[in-house]
Amino acid sequence: MRQGIITKGVGGFYDVLVDGDIIRCRARGIFRKDNIVPMVGDKVTISTKNKAIVEIHPRKNQLLRPAVANIDLLGIVLAPIHPEPDFYLIDKLMVSAENNGIKIMLLINKVDLVGDKEIRDIMDIYKATQYPIITLSCKEKIGFEKLKGIIKDNIITLAGQSGVGKSSIINVLCPEKELETGQLSEKIRRGRHTTRHTKLLILSSGGMIVDTPGFSTMNMNEVMPEDLSYLYPDFLDYIHQCRFNGCMHDQEPGCRVKEAVAEGIISQGRYQRYIRILNELKEFRRNIW
């Protein structure tokens, strides 16, 4: 018996990374009986004799779309232009990652296309969260040494709007992936985005990155409205200073969070998006009750 991590699963077969080698395995039938589906990122025990996954170790977190487990880092990618940032989507991704116990960093890509002011304006929105913020340019290869240092020894997945450069970032981090997709494009006359199945790519600089056909958002419906503010690290210093216990920082008087917004400590736009998300969660709860 040996232990490894699932890097890809297609058609009932799973590639398992074991001590630097890939071993293709099937899952034991008991998993189907128990309605357990192995996922990319699963830490598993395999029988090398039977080429079978015999145990799936407990997951620290899991995402359903893409189906991937044990993520350490979520890199939320945005661009100052082309496309314009969707801060509502970014905030929802942050809430979902916090709720799943996934560390967050913000990757501002395409910084070669704008000036310093546009970059600072974005950074100012999220500086109170204390999330790491890295500025990147795939064209100029800016920021990638810092990014590699953070990814090392971690499993990271990228999320964000279409067109912000997630695939380009992966190609810079994993040049052999770019070579592979370029060769496929020549053969089948498709574009560069040839990923059809979620898989883990092993980075020569250390760590692994999830290569997925598409990932722009995560489900937030499991978040209770009264818990939402605790998933905002920029709110945490003020939550317990509100006049009323259980303050949701909406219409309540004596709300210290709203005072921090008025003082410019918390971004006004971020607070307004918090209220929008809060109202959506309340509406969802009303509908299921």
pLDDT tens per residue, range 231-278: 999 999 999 999 999 999 999 999 999 999 999 999 999 999 999 999
State yes or no: pLDDT of 72 exceeds 90. Answer: yes
- 185 CB contacts (<8 Å, ≥6 apart)? 191, 192, 194
Q: Are residues 12 and 128 in the same domain?
A: no
**Is 219 part of any domain?**
no
Nearest CA-CA partner of 114 in 76, 161, 160, 81: 81
- Indicate if 68 and 124 belong to the same structural domain: yes
Residue 185 has pLDDT above 60, yes or no: no
pLDDT computed for residue 65 by the predictor: 73
Buried b (16+ CB within 10 A) or exposed e, 231-255: bbebbeebeeebeeeebbbeeeeeb
CA-to-CA dists, residue 284 to 89, 204, 217, angstroms: 18, 44, 17
CA angle (94, 209, 160) in 5-degree steps: 35
Coil, strand, or helix at residue 47?
strand
Stronger pLDDT, 210 or 193, i.e. the higher one: 210
Based on the fold, state whether residues 197 and 110 are members of the same structural domain: yes
Q: What is the pLDDT of residue 192?
A: 47
Query: What pLDDT was estimated at residue 63?
Result: 84
CA atoms within 13 A on the CB side of 247: 20
What per-residue confidence (pLDDT) applies to 217? 60
Cβ-contact 84, 113 below 8 angstroms:
no
pLDDT at 182 exceeding the cut of 70:
no
The number of residues in the chain equals: 289
Q: Measured between alpha carbons, how far is 43 from 169 in angstroms, rounded to an integer?
A: 26
Instruction: Assess whether 231 and 133 both reside in one domain.
Output: no
Domain count across the chain:
3
**Are residues 47 and 149 both part of a single domain?**
no
Do 157 and 51 lie in a common domain? no
Residue 234 in any domain: the answer is yes
Range of the domain at 266: 225-288
Q: Which residue has the higher pLDDT, 191 or 54?
A: 54
* pLDDT, position 64: 76
69 with 150, same domain? yes
